[in-house]
Amino acid sequence: MKQAAGMRREFTGRHMLIIMLMFFGVVITVNLIMATFAHTSWTGLVVHNSYVASQEFNEKAQAGKRQSARHWKHLVSFEPGRVSYRLNDGAGSRIHVNSVTVTLRRPAHEGEDTRIELQRLEDGSLAKDFRVRDGIWIVETSADFGEAEPYITSERVVLKGGAVR
């Protein structure tokens, strides 16, 4: 039977059930997608054992103060395809460094973390051919210059076209 023109269809319990199922289906689907993204992205882990890290805090703070008192300056250079390092004293003279480890970390994802051991070149500088992808990086360096404590630095850099911007 055809409905007469201008007559409205009746809203039934079946219509309400369909609307409720569609609404909650969308909510559950969005929640599952967001939970999957949260589970597969950054873990949030900063330290493996927070108690041990808290016990080492004062020791690391004192080492940082001793390092700052030297007034040394470091330079990590990112030329396209190469990472290099230089350490100068307060007067600008080059300090002889035995070895340098450069650790590159993404601020929010461990998937691209990289550790680079720089090699001594003929001119005495330390460098390694290595292509670093563009983006935001946390650059940590540890330079052994012949004393008990290495010279440690950490900085955030933005790379574009293989160079710091």
pLDDT above 70 coverage of the chain, percent: 93
Q: Is the whole model's pTM more than 0.75, yes or no?
A: no
pLDDT in tens, 9-22: 899 999 999 999 99
Dihedral angle of Cα 152, 43, 41, 165, to the nearest 10 degrees: -20
pLDDT tens string 65-114: 999 999 999 999 998 889 999 999 989 888 889 999 999 998 877 778 89
How long is the chain?
165
CA distances from 114 to 42, 82, 110, 128 (A): 16, 14, 9, 13
Residue 42 and residue 110 in contact, taking contact as beta carbons nearer than 8 Å: yes
Average pLDDT of the residues of the chain: 89
Ranges assigned E (strand) in the chain: 73-79, 82-88, 99-106, 109-117, 119-120, 126-129, 135-144, 151-160, 163-164
